[in-house]
Amino acid sequence: MDIKQATKAYERWLAKRIPLLEPDLRVKHQRMAESPFPFLRATFYRWVQLWPKICHELATAPSVLGVGDLHVENFGTWRDREGRLVWGINDFDEATQLPYTNDLVRLAASARIAISENQLSCDADEACEAILIGYQEGIASGGAAFVLAEKHGWLRDLAMSELRDPVAHWQKLDQLPTQRVGLPAVVRQIIGRLLPEPRQSYRIVHRRAGLGSLGRRRFTVLADWRGGRIAREAKELVVSAWNWEMDRRTDAKILYQEAIEHAVRVPDPFVGIYGHWLIRRLAPDCSRIALASLPKSREELKLLQAMGWETDGPAPRSLPSSNCPWR
């Protein structure tokens, strides 16, 4: 099965579970063809086909509740209940039970690809070593949340350089056309309850975001509230693509909520799972951090090492030797 056949097969499987948006799928396919990094982000389903064949030794490692679709742009910031800025993994769409090595290898592979495309300026071998060291230290210490206040000043500076311009953030959302139909009643009810005031007036727009989830229904609610802008988003979830290829279980469940509850992190009070809908707050300080926003310096190695600290599972002394291309 080649990539075209795999894509068609996966999208047929997906369409049996949730409605798909054909225009967004076409955009996704175009992005996949641009370069290897967006291709990796968009094709976790292809990864799970090839992973046990190419990295067969690592694929036999003990299973844990993992992120699945982990990569160097799957990290961002949010505000906790105290208003503190927090950094960590911000997408658990593909969370599932899988070998703990999957997240390590995929994160390292994404770093190497980003480096080859000049999106990161660190040395590829040093980047992989930083990820492994961060993972080992995190497991040994019991993990740690990344609150960007008194600690992690260098990471706070990276985050704030990305988050400084709320004007541009809201202008981008305001330019999206109003979506007048298609909002499911259950989503309307949920969002209505979660807005700051009852009977809050709002406008619904369709925002294209992400790559792995591009093609699924996504509703963004924009409103004015007491002198400022607010936004909520509802994104449709489905069971991880791991279940499509690895064992094709029919009893598989969406594990997004379980993943964020078990991770060593400070929770985002605005993130909630309601049935198969993810509801979250959108704001300039609540978003992923794109590689394009990072300064080209050796601080990137610190960032990659930090990325290893949210991984859940046993800590190896070193990864087994294999023919995996990231080594």
Quick: pLDDT tens for 117-141: 888 777 889 889 989 998 998 889 8
Task: Report the pLDDT value the prediction gives residue 315, as an integer from 0 to 100.
Answer: 38
CA dist 273 and 232 (Å) reads 13
Contact (CB, 8 A) for 125 and 299: no
| Rounded percentage of the chain residues whose pLDDT exceeds 90 | 54
Residue 111 CB partners (closer than 8 Å, separation 6+) = 72, 120, 124, 127, 128, 131, 304
Q: Which helix (H) or strand (E) is 133 found in, with range?
A: helix 124-141
Q: Could you tell me the pLDDT band of residue 323, with boundaries at 50, 70 and 90? A: very low
Q: Give me the pLDDT at residue 49, please.
A: 92
What residue spans of 16-92 are helical by DSSP H? 22-32, 36-42, 44-54
Mean of the pLDDT values across residues 192-207? 89
Whether the pLDDT of residue 310 is over 60: the answer is no
Give the bridge partners for 231, in sequence order. Answer: 222, 282
Q: Edge to edge, what strands does the sheet with 85-89 contain?
A: 146-147, 85-89, 75-79, 287-288
pLDDT digits (tens, 9 = 90+) for 146-177: 898 877 777 777 777 655 678 888 999 999 99
Within 10 A of 15 (CB to CB), how many other CB atoms are there?
Answer: 12
Confidence of residue 221 (pLDDT cuts 50, 70, 90): very high
pLDDT at 169: 85
Backbone angles phi, psi at 62, to 5 degrees: -55, 145
How far is Cα 146 from Cα 297, in angstroms, rounded to an integer? Answer: 21
Contacting residues for 167 by C-beta, under 8 A, at least 6 apart: none
The residue with greater pLDDT, 245 or 196, is 196
Q: What is the pTM of this model?
A: 0.84
Mean pLDDT of the chain: 85
Top-confidence range, 20-29, 190-199, 308-317: 20-29
Task: Name which residue leads in pLDDT, 207 or 293.
Answer: 207
Average pLDDT over residues 244-268: 84
Region 67-75: mean pLDDT is 92
Distances (CA, A) of 177 to 3, 208, 218, 279, 290: 33, 12, 14, 21, 25
pLDDT in tens, 73-95: 999 899 999 999 999 998 999 99
Residue 184 has pLDDT above 60, yes or no: yes
pLDDT in tens, 172-182: 999 999 988 78
SS3 state at 87: strand
- Amino acid 192: pLDDT: 84
pLDDT at residue 318 is higher than 70: no
* Percent with pLDDT over 70 in the chain: 85
* Confidence (pLDDT) at 297: 53
For residue 63, what pLDDT is reported? 93
Confidence tier at 296 by pLDDT (50, 70, 90): low
Q: What is the pLDDT of residue 301?
A: 55
Confidence of residue 234 (pLDDT cuts 50, 70, 90): very high
